[in-house]
Structure formats: structure tokens, C-alpha cells
Structure 1
Amino acid sequence: MAEFGKVETDVHIKASPEKFHEIFCSRTHHISNVSSGNIQGVVIHEGEWGTVGSVIFWNYTLDGKAAVAKEVVEAIDQEKNLITFKIIEGDLLDHYKSFKITIQVTGKDENGGSVVHWLMEYEKLHGEIPDPHSLLQMAIAVSKDLDAHLTEG
């Protein structure tokens, strides 16, 4: 029997929703420069940065091990600062039948700053597979690295 699940978290940052969203949407290849301890490379395989249907290849480190993922951009909503990726190849699919990541950034309050909402939805190959909490922790670390980069100086 299929076991569906989701994990999610909010990361409070100082950068604007638009600036943070732009990095994940249109300047994704810069993430490895800013969070190189987590992400070693981001390359576009098909399409163009910032377009639905584009295929992006990631090299990253998870739990101290090198990993890869190929994903397709499923949805982009510029007004809501939202992007959704669906994993189509890579190490995550050794454990999950399907895996989708949605990132939405909203403004916090009149004092500025934003909240990055990470949502990971998946179907496990079997019940012994753990929930992807370490991937969620990596997403938090990447968010903080990007925020520090976007708000420096």
C-alpha cells in the first residue's frame, strides 16, 4: 500500500519575497555559489531559467553524501512568489516513488522581511523509508545562506 506524506517548514528571512523567489525561479544556478556547502552545482538541461517545463539538474550533499536530482519546473506564480519542482530522476527516487517541492515566499509585516514556506510532498516506496527531514534541514540552511547573501552590505 502506498504511503503518502509531506513535511513542511517556515524560514523567517530579512530579504524581500521577490528577491528570494527570483533566485529560485530565474537565477537558480547562483545557489551553488551562495550555499556551496549544501549545493555543489545547478545546471539547466532543457528550457530556460524561470520557465515552466524547464529541466534542472542539481548536485548536492545530503547527510554527508554526494547526491543528484533532476527536476522539472511544474509551476511558477510570480504574484504569489511560488515555484514547484517535481523530481524526475536522482537519488531521492531510490526511496520515493514521487517527490515534489513547493517554495512560497510571503512578506512578513510592515517591518519587512519574509517567510519562506517549504513543502515537500512524496510517496514512499515502502513503509520503512523515513520522512525526508534531513532534506528539509538542508532547505532551511540553503534559505539562510541565500538570505545572508541577499541582505549583505
Structure 2
Amino acid sequence: MSEFEKVETDVHIKASPEKFHEIWCSRTHHIPNVSPRNIQGAVLHEGEWGTVGSVIFWNYSVDGKPAVAKEVIEAIDQEKNLITFKVIEGDLLDHYKSFKATIQVTGKDEGGGSVVHWTVEYEKLHNQIPDPHSLLQMVIDLSKDIDAHLTDG
């Protein structure tokens, strides 16, 4: 019997929590332009950008391999700079019964900048499925690309 598991990571960035959160909420369609090696497409299928219940179709790469995911925005908290995506279709569901990613951005107390906290919760189809560490590395790289775009532009 499978259990829910999770992996987490923090990415330290220079951008403000609000700017980073805004990219994920209302400017999601720009992410492929900002990090084309990680994200090749982000297309709104239902709803509106930045609203709970909206459905986004992603084309992305992990370890150089193309993949797709259809995700629904499950939660948005503007005050906490938090957004949660739940995978409802795509390659990840070949290995996981459920898969959810939460991004929360908080400001640093000293020196400016922010910390992007990624939480990936999942339930494996069977015990031989590896934990999604490659995907976690991809979102670390993606976060750094977005930060560079926000702070250099």
C-alpha cells in the first residue's frame, strides 16, 4: 500500500516574494520565455491566469527528456505568496497516483531577497518508483532562471 510522501527544497533568490509569486499567478505564460531549457510551454486550458480552478497545460523537460502535465490551480494565497498546483493528467501520473506542487515565497529578514520553498507531495504507484529528485532539481534551476529574469530585467 502506497503512502503520501513529500520532498522539499529552498531556493534563495534576489527578487521580492511578490514579484516571484506574480510570475506563477498572473504571468505564467511568460515562464517558457524565461526558462526555455526547463519549460517549453504553458497554455491556459480553462479559467483565467491566477485563479483557483484554472487548468494549465505544461510542456517541460526533466533530465533532458520532454514531458507534459495538465495541472489545476488548487490554491492561491496572495498574502502568503503561495500557489498550489495539482497534476490531473500527464507523464507524472504514469508513476504517481497523485502529484501536487506548492510554491511559497517569503522575504528574508536580512539582506533583502527571498526564499522560494518548493513542496512536492506525491503517492507512488508502487515502491520501485523513485522519489522525484530530478523534478526537484528542475524547479530549482527554473527558480534561478526566473530570479535572474526578475532582477536583471
Q: 1:18 aligned to 2:18?
A: yes
Q: Distance in 1 between matches of 2:3 and 2:55?
A: 27
Paired residues of 1:57 and 1:69 also in contact (CA < 8 A) = yes
Q: Distance in 1 between matches of 2:111 and 2:66?
A: 39
Give the equivalent residue in structure 1 for 2:5: 5
1:21-44 deviation per Cα after TM superposition (whole angstroms, max 9, x unaligned): 000011101000000001000000
Q: How does 1:2-151 map to 2 (within 5 A)?
A: 2-151=2-151
Q: Which runs of 4+ in 1 moved over 3 A?
A: none
Q: Distance in 2 between matches of 1:55 and 1:137?
A: 24
Give the letter aligned to residue 73 of structure 1: I
Offset of residue 16 of structure 1: 0.1
Give the letter aligned to residue 127 of structure 1: N
Structure 1: segments with no counterpart, 5+ residues: none
Q: Distance in 1 between matches of 2:38 and 2:75?
A: 24
Q: How many aligned positions are there?
A: 153
1:36-84 deviation per Cα after TM superposition (whole angstroms, max 9, x unaligned): 0010000000000000000000000112111000000000000000000
Q: Distance in 2 between matches of 1:3 and 1:93?
A: 15
Q: Distance in 2 between matches of 1:68 and 1:28?
A: 16
1:86-143 deviation per Cα after TM superposition (whole angstroms, max 9, x unaligned): 0000000000000000000000124210000000000000000000000000000000
Q: Distance in 1 between matches of 2:115 and 2:144?
A: 11
Q: Distance in 2 between matches of 1:3 and 1:65?
A: 27
TM-score normalized by the length of structure 2: 0.98
Moved more, 47-56 or 3-12: 3-12
Q: Distance in 1 between matches of 2:129 and 2:69?
A: 18
TM-score normalized by the length of structure 1: 0.98
